Chain A
């Protein structure tokens, strides 16, 4: 059975089960059907089961997504984009033509060129270039498909993060995770379909809009989970209320609410019933999913995890546990990659090295773990920042800084994908000889979204939602977009 057939099967099973459970809901069913041809931002899904698994347009390559976002944007020039020409020009004044008409967040006057701070070599059977900062990751490099020609038109974090995750640089559009959950539902009705985990002590600059549902119904927004206490706020039953008693109260509550639904006929009441049921299931299943201390010692060793602390490695292990449980979209934000060189923590030779160390082992472990469990084929793992960093050394205030850093550079950055139907051991696109601008096979956020949706089984131009008088889509209605077929296996 291929993935497509499997999804069809699951959907059929779900619908049967739902009808079986809700034999009294004939009239309510009619209410739902009615809404399907309503106008405005009407519901397109059964409001009582908005996350029921659904089938895309064609057989998907990937069933779910794990997105590892390095918030602040790591330097492509210190990791994956090998530029010997830049190293040769290290310390020279930046030529005027690179500065004309450019906007920088902090660079002023004439900065100096800055060669990569770390040596590069070729790794794996595929012989892909990589610096010496990610020794564990090298083990899995043959699984990885690099896109080195990503580009953005936003040079501040917030707008750039929004563009990459929602297709629009301003808040208000649904995130890719919301679109995926809207289109595919979730394989697990006991957990949110779209889960967000953060590390590095901060949320992303653009805030919660990065995983928002925009104009899609809010049930598709990412749910941010915590690594200490209840993973989801108020998940645990209050003192003195057991799970059995909670179940009992919810039965009575459903009874009351069903009466309200019949009497008042507001579809939102049906949604509320479904949400309370989901809350109850989450109480049981989310707690279980988040208990990483149940993993054996060798797994902790592989990921470098320490239960009870907020860390990127814990989140990687959680991502695998959530993927196993059928969560559709899992998004990790790790803060601390904004290597301006204003202090040690943002120095490419200091803070950046620590950040690399923090992600190297868990990412390698995640890919190996997924592969070993047979999940990598159907799970698309994506890694990126929101833009790249300048080949020039940052000179904040026009002065030479004590620490070494790079400013924001939207014109080129590296994104990689693994598993889920992408070409393993492959590299796509090129930047110019100093890694400043993508020059060959450029990929915009919109192209990336078109490709992502293709991997998930959607014709990105037909996967739409009516809003503001337009059939809106993730790949942006007003900007050009193309599917990067070359990266699809």
Chain B
């Protein structure tokens, strides 16, 4: 192993470990942390990484490839079908209008029409990597803005396929004939043949996925070697990507298709948990590489041109997005998140610009400028979102806090704060309200906040893990904080912050699963409520009743089971740390399940106990 490799790995990992926590602490999200880290280690500031940045970029693009594989995996065909109207409607509107506007403006400033069209298409792309990561971290994926964003991104990810197929046709009509450059199978062919090749390749991936990957994975799974399955997962992703590159197509699209095909197979979750950690690290690397590759020299040499392009592109994209959001019925706040969030040019643009330059539709310099614009716009959007969250929304839309004076008044009256008012939190809120206890609610879905305010609830809009929002919601005076947020990570974050800043506040936490409960126990939380426990047992009790058990007996069995399961949870939580080797999440889940099933046979004592059973006295007198 060369020391150069170790040197690079050291720099990149250190940049991630140093800057991401800082960014998180400042409430900026990890994407911005990676980007800033990249800029700092890049040639312009410290120059730890220099000319080889581009190579790293190639390597790191693999993070995007894996992300698309995972997106494909998560996208079940039914879900896709249910969203088809949203995807097509918002997608076509956004892509069409953005491309058209960019095309018009680029034509005016002197691009040839094929160049303007090709660049317009590339600029219309947004960054799935940045947007999805940011939305997930802020817990916004289930809001209207989150859903619309996902739909648009998905449409873009898919539409890249036909765009890549069309670009060679544009090249054919451009004045330059493709020559030289990287030689792939595709470049030697005339335009129409390239298009046909692409269609054949796409179909080949679908067929191979069905008839080769699935039987292959079944074979590997039967060998029962964990690392071998991980290796096989990586092999599929890398293999697909390599084949695509060989033919001269985008590897990201190939793996997206492979993921889509494998989504219906029984290995879906297994693959997800195997690829996820690699994706996370490589995506981080990708963001760092984007930061490092920003050509500040180009900016300093042509500051006006670059700035104008960046501002122009973001403005056009955001305006089109805003109009799209407006038409599809997003409220103001949601629309701001939607249109600013997707305002950047995405990672596919790197692929497209490289391809466009390779086809000689635009010059190498123009391609450099465009890639610079893309990288800068990617860095700017997390900042814009932050400004939107801190400055614009509080002024215009759903207010983060009710007026200060009023807030002070309400604080002292509400003993309970509920963070997260989805289906879980809202039931708690309704119950408390019905019992005459008013709670202060924190939620980050502005549509819901609007509704709740109209219904007379005290609602604070914003990220519940932000200390200033917690403070203004009255966390110093409240007695209980109920963490009912959907995302376990955010709940855990909230619990940690509360423990540090408001030690007197009693925290009650919703846990989605047993694993979440373990994490919370590790964090020292006492009051943990697993959403999967009580309802499931209640159903089980009713099932016993339907089978002919007496209701009271079944009810007692249920009560005992819950008590037993809570005790077992605490026992296993302690025991969990004994296991020395690291187990991936899904596997851990399975091993827990196994252990539980083995112990369960001894519980539900009352089905066989002697309480109220006169037969037990028989023969004693």
Whether both chains belong to one complex is answered with: no
Interface residues of B (CB under 8 A from A): none
Interface residues of A (CB under 8 A from B): none
